[in-house]
A and B are shown apart, each in its own frame.
Chain A
């Protein structure tokens, strides 16, 4: 394989559900490139088109228009061949409930014609998963661990993961992040969809931001982090006014309610803590911005889509 060739490349990939009378656009002219050896975060709110993209890449659904190539081969025409090199974790994971974990592993390995399940057992140990139990007795978190095992067990060149850490406890999330970094270290590629910014920031190299079925931006993660801010809620014993934090660098959008101040804050926390030190602070709550807020911060409210930019360039 030519190492410089993209692992995933889509060209005007479009999916419209429904019929001609009531079309439901799910993905609009997606042009995306994922390079070898990177962890690509595919970020967007629920319903943005992330899962549709993934199902198109895996030939589970067929594009209305455009095409997708994986390892240089057409995702539809060469799907069976490509799937030997791809591991997949679906967002809404469902497995054979009457089978034991190890039976699911064996079934998948037989279909893959890869009968060595030693690595699968290693993965299960790392994820603290008991493969001897039946799937129906697993918690949702354990089912997702089993999903990760069967996605990773054949050491695929490309991993397509749809919100893999949903429902995993924080400890196992960290194990997953470590696994993802190991996979990248081996030169393999991960395409990871998520709606959790912190997850993408933790492990991804680049991020594509999807909204309303359109790819709004593709950025390096450190660039997104640069635009980062927090929503901070400060609860005091006494009533306070916004003037308390007026003039503090990084503070904006301050609102007062009862004995609390809610504000948008960027930068180190020390100046803010010094400014409120004259008051008795009952509680501090720090909340990550939503994807929409990050997007608007990064691109401004006049942000244009790639499709719009492309149309403008052509005209």
Chain B
């Protein structure tokens, strides 16, 4: 494996990665540094207990007792929604695996070189996966710094790390899903629209489904990758390895399908 495409992809995307990583890291830092003291957390938990339970569940706050703890509150205020931001970053990267160069016409030059199509997709996917992990690492640094600078908070850094690691399978799944969509439809704009529908649809399916337990809609949440993320509980209960492995397995399947599709079809002009 030459790794030329892998290295090129890293070399020309690390600045954007730093931008995304710094932004998410700042959000993480602010969420921890501005975390209220434990007494206030209890008041917030009391306030939340007055809301309809379905709404609290939909917002990712299942356990109101846990919300009164720093870990529970951080899950609610940060881990509950941050996968969406990671997924948007992954979506943008996924469009760059094949669609951007194909639409702009560079793909003809690239594939006229001694470079197999599968290798192009795999090297780019690996590079983008690494960039997503790097953004995750930066976000962890932001969380850790926030906690370190707030002595009133005593959150085990390992819990922060677990929460961060929990984000990655969902983000990688979004990268692979967007790559497959782009391989199928070729046009960047169309792929972006469909991938956005997939992302927003998955989020709302999970959001709405959780609010109405015991219904058919609740059953359908199994189709949403957000369901297997469970950012609201990871700090308290740890990683759910089964869910993570499931997301990673689907990611590999989607990436494989993208390679299969791209390998077999005409390159667009």
B240: interface (CB < 8 Å) = no
Structural contact, B105 and A83, CB atoms closer than 8 A: no
Given A94-B106, A111-B2, also A83-B7 (CB < 8 A) = no
Q: B113 contacts the other chain (Cβ, under 8 Å)? A: yes
Give the number of residues in B that approach A within 8 Å (Cβ atoms).
Answer: 24
Q: How far is the CA of A55 from the CA of B112 in the complex (A)?
A: 9
Q: Is A92 an interface residue (CB 8 A)?
A: yes
Are B114 and A111 in touch, CB under 8 angstroms?
yes
Confirm or deny: B5 has a beta carbon within 8 angstroms of a beta carbon on chain A: yes
Interface footprint category on A: 20 to 34
Contact of A110 among B7, B107, B110, B116 (CB under 8 A): B7
Tell yes or no: B39 within 8 A of A by CB. no
Whether the Cβ atoms of B112 and A111 lie closer than 8 Å is no
Query: Contact at B12–A95, with CB atoms within 8 Å?
Result: no
A147 to B109, CA, bound (A): 9
Cα separation A94 to B104 with both chains bound (whole Å):
7
Interface string of A50-87 (1 = CB under 8 A from B): 01000100111110000000000000000111011010
Q: Which of B3-44 contact A (CB under 8 A)?
A: 4-5, 7-8, 12
Q: How far is the CA of A93 from the CA of B12 in the complex (A)?
A: 21
Instruction: With CB as the reference atom, state the residue of chain B lying closest to A61.
Output: B266
- Bound CA–CA A94/B103 (angstroms): 10
Q: Contact mask B246-269 → A, CB, 8 Å, 1/0?
A: 000000000000000000111101
Counting chain B CB atoms within 10 Å of each CB, which of A58, A88, A107 scores highest?
A107
Docked CA distance A94–B268 (Å): 13
Distance from B109 Cβ to chain A, minimum over Cβ atoms (Å): 6
Query: Would you call A111 and B5 a contact (CB within 8 A)?
Result: yes
* Interface residue from A62, A107, A112 paired with B114 (Cβ < 8 Å): A112
Contact for A93 among B2, B105, B107, B115, CB less than 8 A: B105
Q: In the complex, which residue of chain B has the Cβ closest to the Cβ of A147? A: B109
CA distance in complex: A307, B110 (Å): 34
Cβ of A90 to closest chain B Cβ, rounded Å: 5
Number of inter-chain CB pairs below 8 Å: 75
Say if the beta carbon of A98 comes within 8 Å of chain B: yes
- A61-B267, A98-B12 are known contacts. Are A111 and B113 too (CB-CB below 8 A)? yes
Task: Judge if A113 is at the interface, Cβ distance under 8 Å.
Answer: yes
In the docked arrangement, what's the CA distance between A142 and B54, Å? Answer: 63
* A96 lies within 8 A of chain B by Cβ: yes
Q: Tell whether A204 is near chain B: CB-to-CB under 8 Å.
A: no
When distances are taken between beta carbons in the complex, the residues of chain B under 8 Å from A61 are 266-267
The answer to whether residues A150 and B266 also contact, given A111-B2, A111-B4, A112-B114 and a CB cut-off of 8 A, is no
Contact, CB under 8 Å: A60 / B8: no
Nearest B residue to A62 via CB reads: B266
Chain B 166-181, CB within 8 Å of chain A: the 1/0 string? 0000000000000000
Residues of A102-136 whose CB lies within 8 A of B: 107-108, 110-113
- Report A-chain residues with C-beta under 8 Å of the C-beta of B222: none
Task: Give A297 to B107 CA distance when docked, in angstroms.
Answer: 40
Complex contact B266–A60 (CB within 8 A):
yes
Where the two chains meet, the residues of B that have a C-beta atom closer than 8 Å to any C-beta of A are 2, 4-5, 7-8, 12, 104-116, 264-267, 269
9 A-B pairs with least C-beta separation: A94-B105, A88-B112, A110-B4, A61-B266, A83-B114, A60-B267, A84-B114, A111-B4, A111-B113
